[in-house]
Amino acid sequence: MDLAKQLAYVKAMDVAKAFPYQLVIGADTIVESDGRIYGKPRDADHAKSILSILFSRPHRVITGLALVRLIPPVELVEADITIIYPRPLDQALLAQYITSGQWQGKAGAYGIQEQGSEPFIEGIDGSFTNVVGLPMELLGRMLDRAGYQSK
């Protein structure tokens, strides 16, 4: 969880330096299983390896979220965690998913919002928008705390 928060904070601070009077939102999503962190896959073989691990047991999607403004100062950094419960892995579906290329550029090699990922997921415990990459419920609460009306 700390890594996702740190990455989100660094992203937000990098932009905030160029826009010191603006509220900047930074986010970063990682996937964790059994203490190991999975980012974006390097290639199709790496994606297949990641998915074979992740969809063999429940895993966590963690999104760090940072709200930063330099002047006047605002600095809020939190994280949201969602547990993914996979279905038994079907190798034919996995091969089809890898061929589709939908794994590219996604932490954990999948996007829950993408067509083709549905057969892999039995259910989730937590925020769906967190798994997509921007936990809207958490963002709303953080905006409220920063003095912005989120509704």
Where in the chain are the domains? 2-145
Query: Is 63 in contact with 4 (CB distance < 8 Å)?
Result: yes
> At residue 115, does pLDDT exceed 70?
no
Torsions phi, psi for 66 (to 5 deg): -125, 135
**What share of the chain in percent tops pLDDT 90?**
74
- Residue 100's identity, in one-letter code, is S
Distance between CA atoms of residues 29 and 103, nearest Å: 14
In the set 28, 43, 80, 125, the catalytic residue is 28
Burial 73-102 (b: 16+ CB within 10 A, else e): ebebbbbbbbebebeeeeeebbeebbeeeb
**What's the predicted TM-score (pTM) here?**
0.88
SS3 10: helix
Q: How many CA atoms lie within 13 A of 59 on its CB side?
A: 27
Per-residue model confidence as pLDDT tens digits over 65-112:
999 999 999 999 999 999 999 988 888 989 998 999 989 988 899 888
Annotated active-site residue 28? The verdict is yes
Per-residue model confidence as pLDDT tens digits over 126-144:
999 999 889 999 999 999 9
64 token code pair:
């760090």
> At residue 44, does pLDDT exceed 80?
yes
Distance between CA atoms of residues 103 and 117, nearest Å: 9
pLDDT band for 151, please (50, 70, 90 cuts).
low
Q: Distances from the Cα of 4 to the Cαs of 66, 94, 132, in angstroms?
A: 10, 27, 14
Query: Is 130 in contact with 82 (CB distance < 8 Å)?
Result: yes
Return the number of other C-beta atoms located less than 10 Å from residue 103's C-beta.
25
* CATH class assigned to 2-145: alpha beta
The pLDDT, as a whole number, for residue 150 is 60
